Amino acid sequence: MSCRMDNKAYLVQMNGDGVHGKNMVQPKSLIGTGVAGKGMLGNGVHHVNVNGSLYPAKAKSRRQRWEVKASEMANNTLNPIRAIVDGMKLSPNPDKPMIALSIGDPTVFGNLPTDDAVLQAMKDAVDSQKFNGYAPSVGYLKSRQAVANFYSCPEAPLEAEDVILTSGCSQAIELAIGVLCNPGDNVLVPCPGFSLYKTLAVSTGIKVKLYNLLPEKSWEIDLQHMESLIDERTSCLIVTNPSNPCGSVFSKEHLQKILKVASKHCVPILADEIYSDMVFPGCNSPSLASLSSDVPILSCGGLAKRWLVPGWRLGWILIHDRNDIFGSEIRQGLVKLTQRILGACTIVQGALESILNNTPPSFYSSTISFLKSNSEICFSELSTVPGLNPVMPSGAMYLMVGIEMNHFPDFKNDVDFTERLVTEQSVFCLPASAFEYPNFFRIVVTVPEEMMVEACARIREFCQCHYQPLSCEDLDQ
Ligand SMILES: Cc1ncc(COP(=O)(O)O)c(C=O)c1O
């Protein structure tokens, strides 16, 4: 070991794992590991200043001024809804109270409280004091077992090991994309579709290819278009059923056709089923996995919508892999990804078994009846408004309305249309450009019934004010 004065620093030369300078502070875990820590050059040469702290003896390429920049990932993280809404001038008419039909949070108006059994489960979890610590990163075994029991069916059986608990369905989607895709790969995403898929993919260098949904066919997938987009770098097909923003529910036959395309091209599916079972009476909505004989599926879901507690941030991934195509690699990959943040909130995990087992069926059915009734009010009101073409939903919490823009020459596009609807009528609907689908807007149907009725009346008045019949010249074009 040799020491010399070097610009107020002692240089401590170490041989092998040898002896440390008196003032060397080296984490125990790094001793002898060859891992260079702060102040270590990785070649056994360490620098210690007179005060005993560590710093390099010769600062290479020292910065002359502050320059702290956001990472590429941060800069590439874009939420299209924010990008559009933040750019809108939203100044409501002071004579009319604001009605926001734009927020996909069923709790905002207080008219759709969660069930007492759900609240009790949470209170019990807190009072027990058993869930204040860290859980395994994939979630407590008991809670995973509860989810497996809840969703298992003979066609798609689930064990606890097939369930990963996450921080909301959003994190489930993030992990699923993260484990299946590399930068440069592409994912197939519905259009119109939930904007988070693109936000997550693009920020990590994954490309997004949008496949069309067909409003005239109740938003079924244009299967030919979807298939035409698949190439050797397509690493995942995202299917949202029931749909945000469309409120559509695919039939069993349509789901089978989707599976056929995925099977033909060996593309795994990320099934976003956060609205599973939120389907109107008379509609059947099997899970994709229950119909799949070979296609491996990561089904993402959570408590947010069906149990009406989006703020509780509890989601899950159900791994369906009957033919062992994902195998241990994808399972291990998912486990590794959960270790980045050590998983979902433990209190909610503690309440999960009770939430799933004790919520009465009447809670689910009354929520669905309300959503259906509000959808029917909205659909029948807007169907008779000149220039608007609402599409009746079959589930979830949304309804899409087409705007015949050629009848509304006062407005450039759906963003302009919805902005002026706020200015004149204090009604805010999300322009569907936020879902990459211009000339439509989305209505959230969770608002109280009287608000829905009032909002529809104002939308009618607005359209009547601005609607222009087509001239002969327009018709000739
Ligand atoms: C289709 C879809 N997937 C996922 C999510 C995210 O759910 P969570 O709030 O559990 O993260 C939403 C939320 O609106 C959604 O609409």
pLDDT score recorded for residue 60: 66
Ligand 1 atom index nearest CA of 303: 10
pLDDT in tens, 320-362: 999 999 999 999 999 999 999 988 999 999 999 999 999 999 9
Cross-sheet strand order for the sheet of 163-166: 163-166, 315-320, 297-302, 269-272, 234-240, 186-191, 207-214, 220-221
Q: Is 156 strand, coil or helix?
A: strand
CA of 274 to the centre of ligand 1 (A): 6
- 5 CA distance to ligand 1 middle (Å): 60
| Probe target for ligand 1 pocket from 196, 197, 398, with the most ligand atoms within 8 Å of CB | 196
311 Cα–ligand 1 center, Å: 11
Q: Which residues' Cβ are closer than 6 Å to ligand 1?
A: 104, 168-170, 194, 240, 244, 272, 274, 302, 304, 310, 315
Ligand 1 atom 14: the closest Cα is on which residue? 104
Residue-level pLDDT at 17: 36
Mutational pocket test of ligand 1: of 250, 274, 399, 444, the residue with most ligand atoms within 8 Å of the beta carbon: 274
- 344 CA to centre of ligand 1 in angstroms: 15
Task: Calculate how far, in angstroms, residue 175's C-alpha sits from the geometric centre of ligand 1.
Answer: 14
Res 56: pLDDT: 60
**pLDDT < 50 regions, the chain:** 1-47
Please tell me the residue having the least CA distance from ligand 1 atom 1: 244
Asked whether the domain spanning 116-358 has the same topology as the one spanning 80-111+362-476, the reply is no
**What's the pLDDT score for residue 477?**
57
Pick from 81, 194, 298, 399 the residue to mutate for probing ligand 1's pocket: most ligand atoms within 8 Å of its CB. Answer: 194
Q: Which residue has the tokens 């484990």?
A: 179
Ligand 1 atom index nearest CA of 104: 14
Angle in degrees, CA 82, 87, 93, rounded to 5: 105
What is the model's pLDDT at position 119? 98
Nearest-angstrom CA–CA distance, 86 and 415: 11
Please give the distance, rounded to the nearest whole angstrom, from the Cα atom of residue 170 to the centre of ligand 1. Answer: 6
| Percent of the chain predicted with pLDDT > 90 | 81
Q: Measure the CA angle with vertex 45, ends 43 and 50; round to 5°.
A: 155
Q: How far apart are CA 87 and CA 91, in angstroms?
A: 12
pLDDT in the model for residue 44:
39
| 285: amino acid identity, one letter | S
Residue 99 near residue 426, CB atoms below 8 Å: yes
pLDDT at 372: 98
* Top CATH class, 80-111+362-476: alpha beta
CATH topology of domain 116-358: Aspartate Aminotransferase; domain 2 (3.40.640)
CB < 8 Å & 24+ apart, contacts of 71-78 = 73/203, 73/204, 74/203, 76/202, 76/203, 76/205, 77/199, 77/202, 77/203, 78/199, 78/202, 78/203
Domain spans of the chain, in order of start:
1-56, 80-111+362-476, 116-358
Ligand 1 closest atom vs CA 240: 1
Q: From the CA atom positions of the chain, what is the Rg in Å? A: 28
> What is the pLDDT, as a whole number, of residue 7?
38
